[in-house]
Amino acid sequence: MTATTTSTALATVQPVFTESERLALAGFLAGYRGLTREAYTLDLRQFTAWCRTRSLSLFSGRRADIETFARDLEAKGRARATVTRRLCTIAGFYKYAVEEELLEHSPAAYVRRPRLDYESHATALDRNELGAILVAAGLGPPAEHALISLLALNGLRVSEATGADIEQLGPERGHRTLVITRKGGKVVTIPLAPRTARAIDLAIDERTEGPLFLTADGRRLDRHGAARIVRRVTRRARIAKQVSPHTLRHAFITAALDAGVPLRDVQEAASHADPRTTMRYDRARTSLDRHATYIVAAFIAGAAR
């Protein structure tokens, strides 16, 4: 074998990333757990795969490379929120590398991120449609009723509902409750409406441990199975719209705002870090019936008597 052939072979099998780069990836992800770690792992997997196809090592990347990665995501039709999240993950990774003195400075420090659209474009359900779906769920198996109720009456993310376990059910100060792990790993206790609690009791039957929701073969229900249940119940309710688990979460937030629940309380119930995220679900916020002019006029009229 010639020297040239040997050199080519070594270049072929030589890993793209250095030991310190792999150490940085592992160390960054080790600081998170649960759904957050899964999301960050997916983000970094896509970025590292993109780098590999270009024979680009992580620590030699420049700001222009990261912005090119973002443009490629946009060209593939990824939502701006998805692109922004991926860039945030990448920025967090490089910041960790700098803090651990594995890298001198972060190439992602000044990367431009897409401006987010704070108007929700999700399918909307009105009060009657949401009620019809809940009625249809009640006519089906208890597990379907319980799942739909958690999504529509508690506004849970589908991963929060499917990730719940029987051991996390309990009473607290006269309420039936469920402990769930929120996005970001935050653990919170939520109250259950009576109909939700009854449906859950029927769904778990005599089981005392394990996942709240199971498939027919005894495995934990995943997000895809939950989506199929939502579609099935929606058809049963004779609603033609494309309804997903997120549609029910969207309907919960909108219904809460329409019912007069303060924005801060809705934000907490939905587990939104930013109130603007809650507001983007409020399709009725431009309703003339709720315009501040009526409240101000009544307030001033009362003072002018």
Q: Is the pLDDT of residue 127 over 50?
A: yes
Domain that holds residue 284: 127-289
pLDDT, average across residues 223-247: 93
Last-in-domain residue among 80, 99, 118 = 99
Together in a domain, 145 and 66:
no
Together in a domain, 148 and 194:
yes
Question: To which H or E segment does residue 93 belong?
Answer: helix 80-99
pTM: 0.60
Would 247 be classed as within a structural domain? Answer: yes
Specify the higher pLDDT residue, 45 or 264.
45
Judge contact between 126 and 247, C-beta under 8 A.
no
Would 39 be classed as within a structural domain? Answer: yes
Q: Which of 81-94 are b and which e, b meaning 16 or more Cβ less than 10 Å from the residue's Cβ? A: eebbbbbebbbbbb
Together in a domain, 24 and 157:
no
Would 3 be classed as within a structural domain? Answer: no
Together in a domain, 141 and 231:
yes
The CATH number of residue 208's host domain is 1.10.443.10
Together in a domain, 80 and 133:
no
For 172-210, how does the pLDDT look when each residue is reduced to its tens digit (9 = 90+)? 888 899 998 877 677 888 889 898 999 999 999 999 999
Q: How far apart are CA 141 and CA 163, in angstroms?
A: 19
Would 111 be classed as within a structural domain? Answer: no
Would 273 be classed as within a structural domain? Answer: yes
Specify the higher pLDDT residue, 272 or 76.
76
Specify the higher pLDDT residue, 159 or 5.
159
Q: Which of these ranges, 11-20, 148-157, 232-241, has the smallest mean pLDDT?
A: 11-20
Together in a domain, 94 and 189:
no
Query: For residue 172, what are the β-bridge partners?
Result: 175
Q: What is the dihedral of CA 125, 128, 133, 137, to 10 degrees?
A: 150
Q: How far apart are CA 304 and CA 159, in angstroms?
A: 53
pLDDT, average across residues 224-242: 94
Q: Which of these ranges, 16-25, 44-53, 68-77, 200-209, has the smallest mean pLDDT?
A: 16-25
